[in-house]
Structure 1
């Protein structure tokens, strides 16, 4: 439908005379009870019959008029009029209805009309009805309409949608004209939002009529554009291979080789450099050969300085879409280089040979990721899928890293269903040996396997809460292994040590333990909640402390509640692992993990979590670096799990501060105590050993200068004030750690 608008204001007597002349040439408009003119029926108000009235020569001050003509839209050049068109005008406020019929020339006039908002309906035989939903008439105003009707035959034969160049501009929202003016409308059918075409749903338009095909949308060059002279992140920034913040082919923003690999194959290169420093004081037993002649103390100087520089590169080639939809296939390779240096003050710490001195520098190159991933099947339209991944890969068994966090060779099946509300993993791991000083992988196979499955259920009990169920099986076969510094780590050099070589005897130290866990993370209104529980069941074929085969029955529990207020998160938490009350019986009740790295109770801002504390000169550690459990194992990565240990109870209080969007602060306090001390008393031939370990204090900051993860500066300090139980084993000297790191990522 098409109607045009023009405005004229009678400002002079000459214009009024011209108007009267035009009115005399048009057929008269009368109410229905007056005899109709030979060329046009008059307008009527259906609710009230009025007396005969001629169109006045001058408009009334409180009424409005509507006139115009109706033509056939199929003949825009000839403008063929449409006669006998029924026009119905309904007042939207009062409900009054006015009607009229067009003349043989398609001319119509409705007059007088009260000012207000109206709905106009135009109907004619063999034509599609036209409805103008909202038409406002002002007092002392004449509105002229030019209406184009589309024949029903044209609508039925129409088989395509309007193409973009054929659509005219939308009607401008101009201000209402002043009283006493004219308005003319030029209406287009395809730009009227109130006009609905009844196109059959079975008739689909050709694709070329709806879309403009672009062979390679990635090849569209962006024009040179700079609105301001200042530097910054503006639209149309030119791409540079060294710029990770803007469009970059090497960061997966566009296909890497569209001519050969297609337009859905991307490459994401990631390079990171992390420099880490840790200055600490930890208990260091003095050996027979000491660095300082004449020193007679059992404990030597425990100050140490450790510096580590790592370079990590990731090559990630994948096929699919860059967001939402899971990739069709992926190949990822991640090598890592480590350069580290350790400086100590006593002999026999960096190696069993005291001739090694007090300083050690080591380098290692490891392959941390090397896997192939393939999507096996799409399970539904909401991106539910099932995929398989084989090779060296990262894996975390739960929310906070209580059970298993590592990079090991594995075959993994994973995916989700129920519109992503349920996620699942099923993985089988075959372990590799680790480098002692860097923690990176080697290419030497270790006789340890882990079978693990877990499932995440979103909105499990209530919206915002995600539950996780875990089942794992740890099979660690007997073996003899010395670490890269020359220390024996398998079997643990404590208690009864037997020959682990195959064929040496019927008794070999092997671990067969299953884990079953229920964990949760989420929030209830403004209360954040995290909890975990693990049950360990199985056997140790020869535990060195018990000196016999033992059955394992141990538990772990953890819970954290936090509350966000403004820019501070307040949190309290507790951590518990069961301890063994009788180290010489056939039941092991001390809990131990597979390879844990808990982000809990302060994480690495806790001295007890960050630092490894040697258990005197026994060759095992009371607690390993990056663990909360006093497991008495020789090494977390290279040793074997030990379920005859004292266990622990930890109570935590802390706060996280979002000081600025770039700067965060952390404060943490832990109270630590042994759950049982019988295993410690047995190994040290000392009784009693009390339960209190001490108080652990920690503070830290994290600064991100570009407000992203590309540059992260971290620093902190932590200290352990020994309690009575810790003093019974070591000394009362305060232990501390000062640390900092700088990480840069491309």
Structure 2
């Protein structure tokens, strides 16, 4: 029997005489298979001895090993564990060498098929590439199949007195349209560095999109400037969505605050919701963070890329657009209150596209078909503040979420197509969404205001327009007004708002046209509800009321007085289903109805009192 005098961590002091005045120290280990404590010493150089307390005098070792085990003894230095921690051994470790820390599970016998994306996979960047010429080289291969099927009703003009339907020689033709879009996105990312604890040293990424699309309408001339092409169109295109190199310049703190440089075709969103600039431009971007990620910043210079007309994909086979964007923004977390992130943004857009440009279907898109059709260029600067986060300081019970953006646009247009003279640009924008979570549901209230142009013939352009908007707001693409582009029939070759856009900017094309600061502006007020019925199923509903802020530009283009500003009510419902609780398979669907207000009745006639959109999307990702 041993008399335990003291315990320090996993070291046990034992009495070496009857009085307990002399002590020795041995290590204890837990024997899980026997459910008891056992005292065991460890192998070490020198004779098998136990060190006595304080004196440095060595006594014979006490063998405490089990008979069936190999004896493991050690010589311990004379130390007082009451002053310092238990003595640590500096002995060679009995271990099996591993290639790296990412293959720990494989060393224990866990092997996963190469095609399994749910476990460690060398093709998904979970494990370094085997036999790579450099250490810590990761390869991430992504495959996404995005499939859209849509049936919709959109006001469609009859082309020059030609109609495919007998007796339909009117201004407004058949409204029914159907769309099928299948996109396959292939991406490869090669990364050097530790992908877990610090930013990677460098990254190279390329993404190619292959798209097939088919559109069917009821009127000739709606899909191509040549009516003889009929009412159906099938097209395909291959676009380069990403092609960039990212280099880690430096770490600026022990917490891996960093500066990085990214060059090439890259995604960029200027704010939380994508109100001003949401695109895949070519450019140079310097970004990083400070103060343990409390501050983040972006400095970028971009040139916009030409788009394929029917797919909207980047077309690098053509020269880059003469449309430059300079961006500087700063993010501050937990400001002005904890849980809320603030962003300050300055964006300058210089557009010098004053020569005619036709899209792939033969329609003139620059300049827009309105006014005197003379080319122009413009310079505009956006100054804005955005915020996103929680307002828990109001009350623990009423913990609200807030997302808000406010912008002021100021600049100069070289020549207005309506006023036929230079104009100064002075416009504003505001959007806010307030929401509250109720366990499995989120209730939302949202509003949006953009300034409109009161007088299209003066020297001031006061209608707000973005560079390339794609906002996640007010129901996003489940909303009819945002999802569909309504053509301003009889008012030029422009649309009220572009596809996946809210601002009624009267552009010829959101992807290929120029910004237009002579527009009616918008007032939007609505509410929405998101319900998580099950972990894999979410239901969505949104209702919004829309109004023009001004109608003088519409009156000038239509050559008639548009009395009412009421656009109408936008109703939409939708669902999102993830059968495997992840992002590998996502099924979404939506039904939206736009019920006309008095303003749209004047624009499109009393025969069209409502429009609808029914869409289904299947996204499969590897």
Q: TM-score, normalised by structure 2?
A: 0.86
- CA shift digits 1:477-536 (9 cap, x unpaired): 1232100111000011111112x4xxxxxxxx0020000010000011210001110000
Match of 1:326 in 2: 199
Give 1:701 shift.
0.3
Shift of 1:258: 3.8
Are the equivalent residues in 2 in contact too, given 1:123–1:129 (CA < 8 A)? no
Structure 1 pair 224–719 and aligned structure 2 pair: CA distance change class (3 A): same
State the Cα distance separating 1:430 from its structure 2 match: 1.2
Query: Based on CA coordinates, which of the two structures has the bigger radius of gyration?
Result: 1
The residue that corresponds to 1:516 in the other structure is 383
Q: Which residue is equivalent to 2:345?
A: 470
Using a 3 Å threshold, how does the CA distance of structure 1 residues 291 and 567 change in structure 2: closer, same or farther?
same
Q: Give secondary structure in 1 for the equivalent of 2:469.
A: coil
Distance 1:345 1:199, change over 3 A: same
1:265 aligns with 2:265: no
The correspondence of residues 204-603 of structure 1 with structure 2, limited to 5 A, is 208=92, 214-218=98-102, 222=106, 236=110, 238-262=111-135, 264-287=136-159, 288-443=161-316, 444=318, 445-477=320-352, 478-498=354-374, 500=375, 509-525=376-392, 526-603=399-476
Q: Which moved more, 1:610-619 or 1:285-294?
A: 285-294
Q: How far is the alpha carbon of 1:215 from its aligned partner?
A: 4.4
Report what 2:10 is aligned to. Answer: none
1:651 paired with 2:532, answer no
Are residues 1:107 and 2:18 paired? yes
- State how far apart, in whole Å, the 2-side matches of 1:365 and 1:606 are: 28
Structure 1 position 107, deviation (Å)? 1.6
Is the Cα–Cα contact under 8 Å of residues 574 and 651 in structure 1 kept in the other structure? Answer: yes
Farther-moved stretch of structure 1 (481-490 vs 613-622): 613-622
Match of 1:668 among 542, 565, 579: 542
Structure 2: how far apart are the matches of 1:705 and 1:612?
32
Give the distance between the partners of 1:368 and 1:149, measured in 2 at CA: 70
Unaligned runs of 5+ in 1: 6-66, 71-79, 83-105, 109-121, 133-147, 157-165, 170-187, 226-235, 501-508
User: Is the 2:504–2:519 Cα contact (8 Å) retained in structure 1?
Assistant: yes
1:605 is displaced (CA, Å) by: 1.1
Q: Is the CA contact 1:155–1:199 (under 8 Å) kept in the aligned structure 2? A: no
How far apart are residue 219 of structure 1 and its match?
Answer: 5.5
1:77-92 to 2 correspondences below 5 Å = none
Match of 1:150 in 2: 52
Deviation readout 1:674-721 (Å, 9 max, x if unpaired): 000011011111114311000000000000011000000001100000
In structure 1, what is the Cα distance between the partners aligned to 2:415 and 2:129? 55
- Supply the RMSD in Å over aligned alpha carbons: 3.0
Give the match's secondary structure for 1:442: coil
Asked if 1:740 corresponds to 2:613, the answer is no
Q: How does 1:716-735 map to 2 (within 5 A)?
A: 716-731=590-605, 732-735=608-611
Q: CA deviation at 1:285?
A: 1.6
Distance 1:676 1:588 in 2: 12
C-alpha distance in structure 1 between counterparts of 2:478 and 2:337, whole Å = 32
SS of 1:261's equivalent in the other structure is: coil
* Cα separation, partners in 2 of 1:266 and 1:548, compared to 1, 3 Å: same
Q: Is the 8 A contact 1:189 1:195 kept in 2?
A: no
Residue in 2 aligned with 1:709? 583
What is the Cα deviation at residue 69 of structure 1? 10
Alpha-carbon distance in 2 for matches of 1:565, 1:423: 31
The answer (yes or no) to whether the contact 1:514–1:538 under 8 Å persists in 2 is: yes
Note the residue ranges of structure 2 that are not aligned, 5 or more in a row: 7-13, 29-49, 67-73, 393-398
Deviation sequence 1:654-683 (CA, Å, 0-9, x none)? 100111000000000000000000110111
Contact 2:193 2:201 in 1 (8 A): yes
* Alignment length (residue pairs): 569
User: Equivalences for 1:599-678 in 2 at 5 Å?
Assistant: 599-617=472-490, 618-678=492-552
- Equivalent of 1:689, from 560, 563, 576? 563
1:356 offset after TM fit, Å? 1.0
CA distance in 1, matches of 2:108, 2:248: 40
> Secondary structure of 2:306's partner?
strand
For residue 294 of structure 1, report the CA deviation from its aligned partner: 2.1
* Cα pair 2:102 2:126 within 8 Å, conserved: no
Separation of aligned partners in 2, 1:687 and 1:358: 33
Distance of 1:468 and 1:620 partners within structure 2: 33
Change (3 A) 1:730 1:217: same
2 CA distance for matches of 1:714 and 1:489? 32
Q: Counterparts of 2:510 and 2:366 in 1: how far apart (Å)? A: 11
Task: Determine the C-alpha separation between the residues in 2 that align with 1:597 and 1:302.
Answer: 25
How many Å apart are 1:198 and its aligned residue?
A: 2.6
Q: Distance in 2 between matches of 1:242 and 1:167?
A: 51
SS of the counterpart of 2:305?
strand
Partners of 1:602 and 1:422 in 2: CA distance? 30
1:68 and 1:740 map into 2 onto residues whose CA distance is 74
- Distance between the aligned counterparts of 1:167 and 1:554, measured in 2? 85
| Deviation by residue 1:19-51 (Cα, 9 ceiling, x = unmatched) | xxxxxxxxxxxxxxxxxxxxxxxxxxxxxxxxx
Checking the alignment, whether the CA contact within 8 Å between 2:103 and 2:127 is kept in structure 1 is: no
2:84 maps to what in 1? Answer: 198
Alpha carbons of structure 1 residues 338 and 565: separation in structure 2 relative to 1, 3 Å: same
Task: Give the superposition deviation at 1:296.
Answer: 3.1
Using the TM superposition, give the Cα deviation of residue 204 of structure 1 relative to its aligned residue in structure 2, in angstroms.
9.9
Pair 1:301–1:167, CA change in 2 (3 A): farther
Q: Offset of 1:431 from its aligned partner? A: 1.6
The Cα offsets for residues 361-411 of structure 1, whole Å up to 9 and x where unpaired, read as 011001110100100010101120000000000010100010000111110
SS in 1 for 2:163: coil
Please tell me whether the aligned partners of residues 380 and 425 of structure 2 are also in contact (alpha carbons under 8 angstroms): yes
The answer to whether the Cα contact below 8 Å between 2:98 and 2:104 also exists between their aligned partners in 1 is no
- After superposition, the C-alpha distances for 1:598-627 in whole angstroms (9 at most, x for unaligned) are 000111111011001101042111110011
3-state SS of paired residue (1:717): strand
